[in-house]
Amino acid sequence: MSTPIISARKLRKVFPGKGQEEVVAVADLTMDIEEGSLTAFLGPNGAGKSTSLRMLTTLMPPTSGTATVCGHDIVKHTAQVRASIGYIGQKNGISPYQRLRDELQSQGLMYGLGRTESTRRTDELIEALELGEVADRRAQSLSGGQKRRADIALGLIPQPRLLLLDEPSTGLDPQSRANLWEHILQMRRRHGMTLLLTTHYLDEADQFAERVLVIDRGQLIADDTAPRLKATLAGDWITVTVPTQTTTTAAEVIRTTARSSGARDPEPDISDAGGDSQRLIVTVDRGENLLPVLIRDLDAAGAQVLTADLDQPTLDDVFLTLTGRSLREESQTVHTAEPTMTGAPQ
């Protein structure tokens, strides 16, 4: 295995809280990220996702622990780390006082690209992210989604080896999200970029990330591919309804079939489904293979299957299994509103 592009050992960040109580934002994070991979940090508000990225990008030093990014220590060699990475923060990277075209150009120069190359990449990104109409307007007047796309463009200017993205698609409409992902994946293919991102969107982590790190209250609570997480932690649910008088027979068949497929808990949950029928639910692995077998077995045993349903878990179910709380409920409180300001900016 090649040396990991990010290697964190017991990375910890403690914020002094109001009064005496301190906040452990990140607790002993240990992980290795392989070069070229796409990894998602998944967790509810306040889990410590942004704080983790901020330590890795040298924005804040860890309270304890060590990490290297692109081979450089994040505390001792901050300049080398910054020269090797790109970062799209959770807040807006574009200044309200600037125009996007100017801002992209400056960004290129600050990454040492030179004038011609900066201009070339500026034009390319404005075109790719469909920002042509707003590129020469003061950014104050851009819509939330336009600002977010502008942030993405700013992060992509350096074409870094490693790009860290903090909730890149929050606030984007589905069309822009799709477009954004298409562009990010294309950049990744073209430049072999490594991506580490945080997200609340379960489907995004599910669809694009090769590896999902679930973080909750500063703790890394799971680390695997999305399909494996779902299979091992949640499993598929098979739900069948049968006439009430065949319930016992059906339960027996389900128990046997599920057990022979290796299910951890082959005992079906039974509940009343109304209309003189009962509902039986069992959790299994690879439900899509088992469901036809089960229907055949039930039929053969004389339990007539009235309805059959297969539910495959989402990462939300994984999260629920891990913490007893639903990620989806918590993330509904995500605020995308801009910070309020008092006083008058000049």
Partner 1 sequence: MSIAADSLHVFTRELKPVLRDPFQLVFSLVQPLTFLALFGPLLSGTTGQPLSETFQWFVPGILVMVTLFGTAMTGSNLLYEIILGSHERMLVTPVSRAALLVGRACKEMVPLVVQAAVLCLIAAFFGFRPHIPGLLLGLILLAILGMGLGALSYALGIAARKEDWIFWAVQQTVLFPLMLLSGILLPLSQGPHWMEVISWFNPLTYLVDALRVLVEGDFADPAVWQGGIAAALVTAVGLAVGIRSMRRSL
Ligand X SMILES: Nc1ncnc2c1ncn2[C@@H]1O[C@H](COP(=O)(O)OP(=O)(O)OP(=O)(O)O)[C@@H](O)[C@H]1O
Which residues in this chain contact partner 1 in the complex, by CB under 8 A? 54, 57-60, 79, 82-83, 85-99, 102-103, 106-107, 109-112, 138, 151, 154-155, 338-339, 341-343, 345-346
In this structure, what is the dihedral angle of CA atoms 314, 203, 212, 72, given to the nearest 10 degrees?
-170
Among Mg ion, partner 1, ligand X, none, the one that 25 touches (CB under a kind-dependent 5 to 8 A) is ligand X
Among partner 1, Mg ion, ligand X, none, the one that 316 touches (CB under a kind-dependent 5 to 8 A) is none
Stretch that binds Mg ion, among 82-90, 97-105, 173-181, 299-307 (CB under 5 A): 82-90
Distance of CA 48 to the CA centre of its chain: 13
Residue 59 contacts Mg ion per CB under 5 A:
no
Q: What is the distance between the alpha carbons of residues 273 and 331, in angstroms, rounded to a whole number?
A: 32
Q: What is the distance between the alpha carbons of residues 219 and 13, in angstroms, rounded to a whole number?
A: 11
The residue (of 42 and 128) whose beta carbon lies closer to Mg ion is 42
In this structure, what is the dihedral angle of CA atoms 239, 244, 249, 253, given to the nearest 10 degrees?
0
Residue 45 contacts ligand X per CB under 6 A:
yes
Q: What is the distance between the alpha carbons of residues 317 and 227, in angstroms, rounded to a whole number?
A: 12
Residue 148 contacts ligand X per CB under 6 A:
no
Residue 57 contacts ligand X per CB under 6 A:
no
Number of neighbours of residue 78 by Cβ within 10 angstroms: 16
198: helix, strand or coil: strand
Closest chain position to Mg ion (CB):
50
The residue (of 155 and 287) whose beta carbon lies closer to partner 1 is 155
Stretch that binds Mg ion, among 41-49, 128-136, 246-254, 286-294 (CB under 5 A): 41-49
Kindly state the number of chain residues that form the binding site for ligand X, as judged by CB under 6 A: 12
Q: What is the distance between the alpha carbons of residues 268 and 311, in angstroms, rounded to a whole number?
A: 15
Close Cβ partners of 252 (under 8 Å, ≥ 6 residues apart): 301
The residue (of 110 and 334) whose beta carbon lies closer to Mg ion is 334
Residue 323 contacts Mg ion per CB under 5 A:
no
The residue (of 51 and 247) whose beta carbon lies closer to ligand X is 51
The residue (of 197 and 205) whose beta carbon lies closer to partner 1 is 197
Q: What is the distance between the alpha carbons of residues 324 and 322, in angstroms, rounded to a whole number?
A: 6
Among Mg ion, partner 1, ligand X, none, the one that 329 touches (CB under a kind-dependent 5 to 8 A) is none
Dig out the tokens for 60 from the structure: 């804040």
Distance set, CA 226 to CA 72, 205, 231 (Å): 30, 8, 9
Residue 50 contacts ligand X per CB under 6 A:
yes
The residue (of 23 and 75) whose beta carbon lies closer to ligand X is 23
Closest CA to 103 of 135, 129, 128: 135
The residue (of 90 and 95) whose beta carbon lies closer to Mg ion is 90
Closest CA to 318 of 215, 239, 197: 215
Does the CA dihedral 59-61-67-68 come out positive or negative?
Answer: positive
Among ligand X, Mg ion, partner 1, none, the one that 94 touches (CB under a kind-dependent 5 to 8 A) is partner 1
Q: Map tokens 């860290």 to a residue.
A: 164
Residue 91 contacts ligand X per CB under 6 A:
no
User: Which spans of this chain sit near ligand X (rule: CB under 6 A)?
Assistant: 15, 23, 25, 43, 45-51, 90
User: Which spans of this chain sit near Mg ion (rule: CB under 5 A)?
Assistant: 49-50, 90
